[in-house]
Structure 1
Amino acid sequence: MTKIIEWDKGHGGIDSGAIGNGLLEKVLTHKIVEYAMAYMSANYTGFKQSATRKGDQTLSLNQRTDKANREGADVLVSVHINSLSSTSKGFETFIYNGNVGDATIAFQNLLHAEILAAMRKFGAVVDRGKKRANLHMVRESKMVACLTENLFISNVAEAKLLKNEAFLKAVGEAHARGVAKFLGLPAKKKPDVPKPIQKHASKPKEEKIVEDGVYWDGKKMARGQIGRVVILKSLPLWSPDKKKHRGLSVGDIITVYRINKTDNYKYEVGGGYTVSNVKGYVKYEQAPDDLIEANKAFYNEYK
């Protein structure tokens, strides 16, 4: 039977929600929900989903729960960003503090764990716990419902994460995975790709293990990486004492940690070694800003 999911974008229209560190709660919650819905559509089947707001609309709490109840949703997720003091921090979830069934508790447990795990890939995040409260969205909805508070907009360090699009995407997708696990939604079948005919027997390939981290074009970024150099013509790698260390070959891709502007813009590639910025011999590629920020967060460089 098709499951029905209702996503609630906390705040909208004239109600901006919390404001802090150059951010509006309604903008963040809308992005998280949109990432969640896109991930659901791309990865699962057996469901229908909708949001309480189609856009940046001003809607009352009653209008939003009435919509979910009218559509007979199986689950409702209300997404919010917290605000209190500049020292308040962390992630928490809420269900109704009245009579709730085992299903609601199980849903909160799954959703909470999935989102917290995704956040912690970007650095240490405080777990404020799975809580209960007399909140309208979880009280007046007639289905299993949970409200998430995704960090504090009032905290400078957490605001940096909330300004990171990669972080918002990860949080949205974690919301979707939690819902899919609770509802037992089947994964979409990937199209069969015919295997090439092997002329000679070969050893089976070992399963590739993907490590946690931030990836740029399929390769995990190193701590402190800002870019990479592609070698177009052979030239030497220079040692810390400015001697030729070894030759670099065409096609080599070298990780760059810093550009030394005081030394002819040489590329620092770790351990004191450098690659010269010679026109026609190297091509420098800067990592996207959002990946650099996500990589810093992953290695806890905001501490």
Structure 2
Amino acid sequence: MKAIGQRILVPYDGSAISAQAFSLALGLAHPGGALTIVHVDEGEGHDIQRQLEPLAGALRAHAPAGGLRIDAVTARHPNAGEGILAEADRLGADLIVMSTRGRGGLARMAFGSVTDDIVRRGHHPVAVVHADDSDYDSAMGEASRGPYRFRRIILPLDGSETSAAALPVAADLASRESVPVLLVSTVNLVPLTSPGMVQDVGMAASMDQLYDDTREAADGWLADASRTLAAAGVASSTEVMNGSAGPAIAGLARAGDLIIMATHGRTGFDRVLSGSVSDQVIRSGVAPVLIVRSIAERIAPS
């Protein structure tokens, strides 16, 4: 596949909250690529179309040095999700960037039917920023913020081929932005011989061995991923954490991070839309999340 961010679509519903996706879209845009603001008119009668060109103009002022073609369109469709997917296909988009809140169809975009349509039925990676009600400007103000500059990528892996689909995306973005990657895995097991726990000694020994084996396996696949990144000239570090994946990943995130997650995997990533892992990570609101498809494809050189 091409380097991600060469053709970005940003859904916009007229609200300043949905406009919070603009900064992330600029930060993920590939120099020389294109970004399109798309308003899906569901027949609600809102006069949003006249806002689009001024917003596009504000974004153009922050285009990367390599250039970025920015435009805006209105698509008429009775269903927001289907309309966004249709426009993404028509435009040849390789990434959809959106806010988790907004008016109309976008109000449920992170975890409801709209995103279910976009991710389950579409074939596009989706980047999600959790909009903060207490920290947003006008739509024009959001368009004038400039690009989101991420300083680190967090990449959760579980050893499966499907979760590894996110690795080439992380390598491409990290190389492009000259940022390091933190490779993360979680072990959702507790050693049964921990102080204060009462249990059958034989069962405890078996579970402790399983715990040790699982951590060793996690260390192994993270080391493999680290070597892959090193071959691409990307610096990385690894961390294996105990506990549930969602809270553990969210707890690592800091302002300026970008979390990249695959849509399927062994430890809950297969429920990336409706399940607890992505819900907790995205709703933590600390860092945006880029959700990639589970089909592993190599990123072609840019």
Pair in the same fold by TM > 0.5? no
TM-score, normalising length: structure 1 = 0.27
TM-score, normalising length: structure 2 = 0.27
Give 1 or 2 for the bigger CA radius of gyration. Answer: 1
Which structure has the highest helix share of the two?
2
Which structure has the highest strand share of the two?
1
